[in-house]
Amino acid sequence: QEFQFGPCRVEGVVLQELWEAFWAMKDIVQAKDNITNVRLLRKEVLQNVSNAESCYLIRALLKFYLNTVFKNYQDKAADFRVRKSFSTLANNFVVIVSKLQPSQENEMFSVSDSARRRFLLFQRAFKQLDIEAAQTKAFGEVDILLTWMEKFYQL
Amino acid sequence: AVPCVSGGLPKPTNITFFSINMRNILQWSPPEGLQEAELTYTVQYFIRYGQKKWLNKSECRNINRTCCDLSVETSDYEHQYYAKVKAIWETNCSKWAETGRFYPFLETQIGPPEVALSTDEKSISIVLTAPEKWKRNPEESSISMQQIYSNLKYNVSVYNAKSNRTWSQCVTNRTLVLSWLEPDTLYCVRVETFVPGPPRLAQPSEKQCVRTQKDQTSALK
């Protein structure tokens, strides 16, 4: 069982555990998101991502989730009594990010730049919202993120 | 439509999507305490998560039943949706009761496969066919749920009627042969489809039984 984001290989992460962790929180978190006319992980962000781009994009997204979304969600997770599921999800994201080593070579600039533009689409939409609403919305869209990640997962 | 006093009635309850093979039915229960009343209901759906509009479902305006087929409106299964319903009684109506975010790709149940069995002395051959995705009309070309879920698997349960024992195996291929079976023995097979990912309800196939043939060598003695 491993992820293969283009050249980046990530072993030792059981995707089923991430699904089960998020599913335990999905209804609670998504019910808090009242801005239903905005989707952060739009099709333009995740559709037709090449293998080569995928490592750059997943790294940028997961780092953002860890540093901007999850970091301020710890207390809420306790309030919602989903702390264990929240920790499972966050810790697995930490493991994945730690194992992603995208190439820094010059020839990869156009690929990394394309991935960066996709990430910026997501980040700009995030920044247009109030921070708390944006965090709740981003958290509620982890099912969209996991659905995309599953395409790079091999049992 | 005659305007009604909103909030004059309690909201419908248990509003949810029942989805199998991408056939997506909105269903709900009458408001608390009004199970016997002659109510009607009106449904709206949110064109999709990330866009702005609530739309009327004309076929589900002032209906008596407590369900509404929104398969067409939610057919792009990679998007997410909301729906809502309100109860109406004379000039009174309830506030809207709204579903959670509905994601067909992750939430639809995968129906049971078709199971074909053939047997000889000591083995049973099983051929499985994944269910078809719901389609708007019969003329539409069929899409197998296997095409949508490339990681779809089958959970095959086999019951030996003589030993009264059951064993299961998870397979990816749609054909498998059960070998080293006992001759002249009744075996019953039931199969469930399974897709890794979020937890989903599963519907097993009907139990099908077949008897292995008599042992030819003992028949010759």
Query: B219: pLDDT confidence band, cut at 50, 70 and 90?
Result: low
Average pLDDT of every residue of chain B: 92
Smallest Cα distance from B39 to chain A, Å: 28
Query: B1: pLDDT confidence band, cut at 50, 70 and 90?
Result: low
Smallest Cα distance from B80 to chain A, Å: 9
Domain count, chain A: 1
Q: Which residues of A touch B101 (CB under 8 A)?
A: 30, 33, 36, 140
For strand B114-119 and strand B92-94, is the pairing parallel, antiparallel, or unpaired? Answer: unpaired
8 Å CB contact of B196 and A147: no
B197 touches chain A (CB under 8 A): yes
pTM: 0.90
Segment A131-141 mean pLDDT: 95
Mutation site, A29, A32, A136, A143, interface B, largest B CB count within 10 A? A143
Segment B104-128 mean pLDDT: 94
Q: Which residues of B touch A31 (CB under 8 A)?
A: 100
**CATH code for the domain of A32:** 1.20.1250.10
> Which of B198, B168, B218 shows the shortest CA–CA distance to A27?
B198
- Say how far apart CA A42 and CA A40 lie, in whole Å: 6
Query: B2: pLDDT confidence band, cut at 50, 70 and 90?
Result: low
8 Å CB contact of A37 and B51: yes
Q: How high is the ipTM of this complex?
A: 0.90
Segment B57-62 mean pLDDT: 95
**Whole-number Cα distances in Å, B210 to B50, B120, B125, B161, B193:** 52, 10, 11, 10, 21
Which residues of B, range 38-57, sit inside 8 Å of A by Cβ? Answer: 46, 49-52
pLDDT in tens, A45-88: 999 999 999 999 999 999 999 999 998 787 777 777 788 999 99
Q: Which residues of B touch A146 (CB under 8 A)?
A: 197
pLDDT in tens, B68-113: 999 999 999 999 999 999 999 988 999 999 999 999 999 999 999 9
- Say how far apart CA B45 and CA B43 lie, in whole Å: 7
Sequence-separated (6 or more) residues with CB below 8 Å from residue A41: A122, A141, A144, A145, A148
Residue A81 vs residue B197, higher pLDDT: B197
8 Å CB contact of A155 and B196: yes
Query: A102: pLDDT confidence band, cut at 50, 70 and 90?
Result: confident
Among the residue ranges A107-116, B149-158, B175-184, the one predicted with the least confidence is A107-116
Q: Could you tell me which chain B residue has the CA closest to the CA of A27?
A: B100
Report the pLDDT value the prediction gives residue A73, as an integer from 0 to 100.
80
8 Å CB contact of B198 and A22: yes
